[in-house]
Amino acid sequence: MRRTLFEQDHEDFRLLVRDFLAREVLPVYEDWRRAGLVPRDLFTALGKLGIISTAVPEEYGGGGRDDYRFNVVLQEECARAGVTLGGLRTHLDIVVPYFTGLANAEQRARWFPGLASGELYTAIAMSEPGTGSDLAGVTTRAVRDGDHYVLSGAKTFITGGHHADLVIVVARTATDPDDRRAGLSLLVVEKDMPGFTVGRRLEKLGLAVQDTVELSFDDVRVPVANLLGEEGAAFTLLGRNLAQERLAIAVGAVAQTRAAIDLTLTYVRDRTVFGRPVAHFQNTKFELAAMSTESEAAQALLDAAITALLAGELTPADAARTKLFCTETQGRVVDRCLQLHGGYGYILESPIARLYADARVTRIYGGTSEVLKTIISKSLGL
């Protein structure tokens, strides 16, 4: 179905991204997969082309275009090429908006040029060994000591933490026995601060080149000047970008769903069984027809949600509906695509197997499907 979401600037950007991936990523992507990590200089290369700086104001070297559609194009082209770029989606879609939305003038002057050039790469540290979706349960503490906070605690499942130069850490700066959500603050920890340790890279089912690490903070002295936003307001501040975070996951889910269908169409046309291409069997035709319909429905819902986001009208419930539908569709479709690949689909060297492994986490991070259903049911008055 014809999409009306993008303008010419976005299509020009698409060609730029497509060319970059073909020249700089595809020839070495298998090396990255074996290493389990993208190289750090990937981000400076993207910065030189302006691919990762569209939302950074022009006075700091960015594009000055706070238009989420550029991020959508980047995800779609990565899915089309069959690659991921480490934790770049988290950096662009989740973390950078906190900087652009909350940083004061001094912080902007200090950090924004590096964000525009790719010399500064970011991560956000919320989850702890005993705390996942329940942010109010955060136990990492930061105690004020003059012009610094003394930060102690541990975080886990931190996407992009291995390469990150700046990490936004959710820490408890005060305790209110009557309100568990109060007293949380956002502190920007810089990679060379004494006491800050990047731990092991966690082995995952999928997302082979996306580093996911543990972080520890042993009395790290963080300047008060690195407080992002108002002290004690982290719970509210984190909620501001939650709709876009969930939408970003849905964008990847739909793009990868479409990529899985394209891969499967090629495979069933080429693969012969009982003297006929697999594509000639009625079951194959019906399965792909149903999957194509599901992906189009997901795309239509997603594009409507992106349009609402751009207009400042995307509600938490609609963001939840979009992520729920798109990621559940991804899970069903990619599983059926793998089935049509037969035994080859189960071999990790096959692209469909990688898409299958990568798809599983989308129903977990950014709000599990169960959490999303709770949000949606509340919006129905239940």
Active site residues: 245
For the record, the structure tokens of 14 come out as 């698409």
Phi, psi of 46 (to 5 degrees): -65, -35
Residue 96, helix vs strand vs coil: helix
Q: Which residues of 30-55 are buried (b: 16+ CB within 10 A; e: fewer)?
A: eebbeeebbeeebbbebbeebbbbbb
Give start and end residues of each alpha helix (H) in 158-241.
234-240
Q: Residues 257, 315: contact at Cβ < 8 Å?
A: no
Do the beta carbons of residue 233 and residue 187 sit within 8 Å? Answer: no
Structure tokens at 77: 């082209």
The dihedral region occupied by 84, where left means phi > 0, alpha psi between -120 and 50, and beta the remainder, is beta
DSSP letters spanning 278-289: GGGSHHHHHHHH
Which residues does residue 143 pair with via DSSP β-bridges, in sequence order?
Answer: 150
Q: Which residue has the tokens 């090396």?
A: 31
CA dist 136 and 239 (Å) reads 13
Nearest to 257 by CA among 342, 331, 338, 357: 331
Single-letter residue type at 63: G
Distance CA 375, CA 320 (A): 7
